Structure 1
Amino acid sequence: MKRKREGFEKKSSEIRSAIDELSSVVRVKPAGVHQDTALIPLKPFLSTCNLLLQVLDKIGPTMAVLRQDVHQNIQRLEKVCESDPLIYSNLIEILKKEDSDGTARNPTSSARALLWLTRSMDFAVALLEKLTKEADLPIEQAVESSYDIALKPWHGWIASAAYRVALKLIPDRKTFICLLMAGYEDHDKLEVDVQSLVSLLLPLLDDIHSILRSFRLDKLKST
């Protein structure tokens, strides 16, 4: 029995792992702070994106397009960081470099990758909150509402149409919650962790949105 319990405790959920990752983040809030002194660490943000990507996977084929987009954007930012880890470990430095080069608005820029990753995280946070707080809300409505808030305003008609088709492939709420429950003893503990994750993520996402606005990148839409 003891071994079984130890094995359970070692099995960490994606949500718990994301909490641990974000808890170590030290950043300078950019609101009212000059860009030269603002700090938003890249690696913890990308690690959290990867972990939340696994949460999106649980929704199934519906999130295939979004998942691919998130994965490609993570890779793009990782590549930039690897080119000079000392400088580009700070997201601000990547934006400053592309802004200076005049490439920030290019379709394949790191700035756009960051913008869409941030919007995808907005979607994931909204979805997790709705599913844990609103017990009677069908998952289709939770996904649709989260999409309408975080992604729809920035998608063209092709992306929006593809999403509408994908909605038909969403699993039922019970199945999805059971998948999220992996590594948890009960729903209450899952809800506590979701709220902890949200409380850590929202300030970070707000910081990134603020920085994107300062570079006039926050209104860019999909090409």
Structure 2
Amino acid sequence: MEGTTVFAPAIEGIKTVKSDQGEIMSQPFLEVCKHILPVIDKFGAAMALVKSDIGGNISRLESKYASNPSRFNYLYSLVQVEVETKTAKSSSSCTNGLLWLTR
């Protein structure tokens, strides 16, 4: 396809990440994050650790989302629960994973 790049799926996916109220929805956000992994592949084997780290963060958030999709439909609710339970600052928290994914 002419004009298609490795960025195209992520760019298209960004359009579906926000709800009508402007909140970031968990599942569409994670799908966009997955589209970044092939981009990292283009940098070669030296980026394998980075790809693994990003994939791990995506998996962590996906697991939390899958545990209760209606409760964790929005990313804010994932973070809110961890703040309330005082687990947000843990290195294995979804909040920490989200922080790294957005960087």
- Asked if TM exceeds 0.5, the reply is yes
1:19 equivalenced with 2:11 (yes/no): yes
Structure 2 counterpart of 1:17, which letter? P
Q: Is 1:44 paired with 2:34?
A: no
Q: Does 1:104 align with 2:88?
A: yes
What is the CA–CA distance in structure 2 between the aligned matches of 1:25 and 1:41, rounded to whole Å?
A: 6
What displacement does 1:101 show?
Answer: 0.4
Measure the CA separation in 1 of the matches of 2:62 and 2:8.
Answer: 23
Mapped partners of 1:67, 1:19: distance in 2? 19
Structure 1 residues without counterparts, runs of 5 or longer: 1-7, 30-38, 120-223
Larger mean Cα displacement after TM superposition, 14-23 or 51-60: 14-23
- The unaligned stretches of length 5 or more in structure 2 are none
Q: Please give the alpha-carbon distance, in whole angstroms, between the structure 2 residues aligned to 1:79 and 1:95.
A: 14
Asked if 1:53 is matched to 2:37, the reply is yes
CA shift for structure 1 position 13: 4.0
Q: Runs (4+) of structure 1 moved beyond 3 Å?
A: none
Counterpart position of 2:97: 113
| 1:88 to 2:88 alignment | no
What one-letter code is carried by the residue in structure 2 that aligns with 1:14? V
**Using CA pairs below 8 Å that are at least 6 residues apart, which structure has the higher relative contact order?**
1
Call closer, same or farther: CA 1:26–1:107 in 2, change over 3 Å. Answer: closer
Separation (CA, whole Å) in 2 of partners of 1:115 and 1:26: 18
Quote the offset at 1:56 in angstroms: 0.8
Q: Which residue of 1 aligns with 2:56?
A: 72
CA shift for structure 1 position 20? 1.9
Deviation at 1:46, TM superposition (A): 1.2
Identity %: 35
The structure with the largest alpha-carbon Rg is 1
Aligned-partner Cα distance in 2 for 1:86–1:74:
18
Measure the CA separation in 1 of the matches of 2:16 and 2:75: 16
Q: How far, CA to CA, are the matches of 1:25 and 1:102 in structure 2?
A: 27
Residues of 2 paired with 1:63 and 1:89: CA distance?
A: 31
- TM-score by length of structure 2 reads 0.88
> TM-score with structure 1 length normalisation?
0.43
Q: 1:17: Cα distance to partner?
A: 1.3
Give the Cα separation in 2 of the matches to 1:69 and 1:50.
12
- Please give the root-mean-square deviation of Cα atoms over the aligned residues, in Å: 1.6
